[in-house]
Structure 1
């Protein structure tokens, strides 16, 4: 059978993304190979903590294409290599710069901290990497008479994120173009150009993370971020922002620099407090990626470049303090917990499932002086989702086996989501010049997929088959 689409993760949930497109029995490509997180399971029902092994044949996979470097899209790469995959790994040039740092961190946590093993693994991956410029077709090596080429377009999710266009031709079949959206960003994302729609496709594999939601206005989110922080400043406490090391952290720093710049130019009622407010980046990994973002400045959007030309440093301003060593981290937690010093702390992980943010939450959630601000999606089964759900009712959350009461104020700013909302996803399809015959929805919980399927069906007047 030609042109078969299979899902090995990221189908009925938002993590573990792994999609296989089979051209013919001898040739296929794999798009992403990510870890499962939270309560989500692999296709065979295994939970995240034991769903690492690659349980599908890899002999016919001719290429792995990575849409971006978030761990739920690349984290099973060691197990894919262990299963015998020996082909090339395609990604954007910016992703190729960041991928070794992501993989080294994941390898040390999930496989081994032995420096020799880590270095050998990274050398193997880097020998397979084939970075691709934007908008340029690349031929994928195939067997038999089949042909395949791929092209990457900006997806606007994080730096280097791409959606994938794939042209395939199987012997005895008509040519077929399939588009994998990866994770799509939305307009007004700091630092990143907005994604455009593909020109045409026969089939689109479309993410649906926020398929049932419409974000708050992204144009006004800086004002809302400022309002939340100013509300918290009066409490003499800390604003804890759980954020992933790649993408959300850098967007937040960009927005905080802009608030500080505006307060310095035209003082508002809280200008003095802003001028003295420390912003702590407490994540060595996030600090490394922030440095990489600065090095990858040519990939920023026009607005960010204009700020740099004006002499500003969007990701390296004076009130930003990086916390590196573990002892310094513990000291910062203790000091902010005990003092009445207003502060902002940005720390990973974004879903509160591990990392340094957990120590802040254990210490500060029981104290009403403090605030927790969520700016990203919280997958089902994660501590972040539990805090969002139970926090407003004065509930509790389990962290490191401890029941922590939630008395801190809990806020959510959906306008900072890394993902396109329902309107953006619908526009991604309706703005195509030649629309597909089929749209397959992935990377969403059931309610989100079903809502997006209905919205797409209505927008496309039932002329495109939508599979949810």
Structure 2
């Protein structure tokens, strides 16, 4: 059977029917394909045989390039396995992503592969050799053969610094057809601190669109700022600590930006002026340093703040904890002293990292607050705390049952993902709407609800769109 009529074909090797493991293969012909992301499965998406799930079992013989949309582990965590499987082609990403990627890869290797410094250095050198950093909004040729031409362009996604969505231009020379395929990666919400909001592409024939928050909208920036302030002031009143589980890249830097706003505008006599804000994550501290180096990529508001002499990521109240011994001392001190503080610690879903030690020490004390500012995946301790904590339940951490007496607050507005309204606008603001939308990176409930919303909008506008809920390709 000649399969040419089915090309281009999109195969999802992760991120379909779940919110992690993003990995999408665009097959242009029998000899040419492109991979967008190669991420790790986390939480409920992770199989019992996690090692088998890490293996790159799909055919990579036709891969001409890998495009990385951003450096979150659920989008790049399987990169070591892809290279181990033999992929030696170009790794395309934005220039900021190229600077952030080595930190993520080093951390991923130490957790899942090896702590041998020499082996890590060799792997990093291989990645650097294959990296092709691109400027935003410039076309780059991936394939130009007798039969097929394929070009890619990266555009700002507004999710974390360096994040991109991918515009692919396909030209089937033999058939005389051209198509545009857009992969959204993770799209950010408007008014995200430090980052310009994403702008829709002019057109797309096929759109592979994330749907993490496809069934809900976020609070506005003013509302989420007030909610953040209220949660912390409650802990100040109780003489307790606010524990914020946050991803090392993106969320940590956005929180610092927002906290600097509150501290800067607080009255001189306010407790805010003396409040300690502790970043207890060596990796987050390193990412923050790179964020500072990438100031030219900050948005206009952040640029104005810099020009006025303010330093939103390195103000006086911020302290960083590096050594593990200092971390242990800090946990004990805050648990026992009654000195108010804000602690930002990884991991974002409480599945490991230093935040677990704070939770074990403080979840049982009502003076303290746990503040969730991002998505908590099903099957993670963070989701359990979020779900059972308000009712005085318990959670299992490191194999121990920990009772929850601390206050539990969730602020959805700080999610780095676009809400339903923003995702719909990404489609509606295209001059030429897609004929097909493939919803990925969302749980079944979110995808089903978002599918219905897209179909309703398309029907009202008189623009037919086929909305597909793909599954992982076997």
Per the normalisation by structure 2, the TM-score is: 0.95
Aligned to 2:110: 108
Q: Could you tell me which residue of structure 2 aligns to residue 86 of structure 1?
A: 88
Look up the match of 1:332. 330
Q: Tell me the SS of whatever aligns to 1:141.
A: strand
* 1:197 is aligned to 2:200: yes
SS in 2 for 1:234: helix
Q: Which residue of 2 aligns with 1:377?
A: 375
Aligned to 2:170: 168
Instruction: Determine whether 1:274 maps to 2:272.
Output: yes
Number of equivalenced pairs? 460
**Does the alignment pair 1:218 with 2:250?**
no
CA contact (8 A) 2:168 2:180 kept: yes
CA RMSD of aligned residues (A): 1.1
**Unaligned residue ranges in structure 2 (runs of 5+):** 470-474
Contact preservation (8 Å) 1:34, 1:73: yes
CA distance in 2 between counterparts of 1:441 and 1:184 reads: 13
Q: How does 1:239-258 map to 2 (within 5 A)?
A: 239-258=242-261
Q: 1:85 and 1:17, CA in 2 relative to 1: closer, same or farther beyond 3 A?
A: same
Deviation at 1:170, TM superposition (A): 2.7
1:339-378 to 2 correspondences below 5 Å: 339-378=337-376
1:37 equivalent in structure 2: 42
User: Which residue is equivalent to 1:463?
Assistant: 464
> Could you list the runs of 5+ residues in structure 1 that have no partner in the other structure?
none
| 1:288-333 Cα shifts (integer Å, max 9, x gaps) | 0000000000000000000000000000001100001000000000
Q: Distance in 1 between matches of 2:239 and 2:52?
A: 43
The reply to whether residue 28 of structure 1 matches residue 4 of structure 2 is: no
Aligned to 2:122: 120
- SS of the aligned residue for 1:39 comes to helix
> Corresponding residue for 1:300?
298
CA distance in 2 between partners of 1:69 and 1:122 (Å)? 15
| C-alpha distance in structure 2 between counterparts of 1:87 and 1:157, whole Å | 26
Residue 65 (structure 1) aligns with: 67
- SS of residue paired to 1:58: coil
**Given that residues 62 and 142 in structure 1 are in contact (C-alpha distance below 8 angstroms), is that contact kept between their aligned partners in structure 2?**
no
Q: CA deviation at 1:415?
A: 0.4
Aligned twin of 2:472? none
**Aligned-pair CA distance for 1:168:** 1.1
Partner Cα separation in structure 2 for residue 402 and residue 207 of structure 1: 35
Partner of residue 236, structure 2: 233
Partners of 2:164 and 2:222 lie apart in 1 by: 23
Query: How far did 1:175 drift?
Result: 1.1
Q: What SS does the corresponding residue of 2:54 show, helix, strand or coil? A: coil
Q: 1:413 aligns with which of 399, 411, 414?
A: 411
TM-aligned CA deviation for residue 376 of structure 1: 0.4
Secondary structure, counterpart of 1:140 in structure 2: strand
Q: Find 1:404's aligned residue among 402, 405, 410.
A: 402
Q: Which runs of at least 4 in structure 1 moved beyond 4 Å after TM superposition?
A: 45-50
SS at match of 2:395: strand
Structure 1 length normalisation: TM-score? 0.97
TM-aligned CA deviation for residue 147 of structure 1: 1.0
Deviation at 1:143, TM superposition (A): 5.3
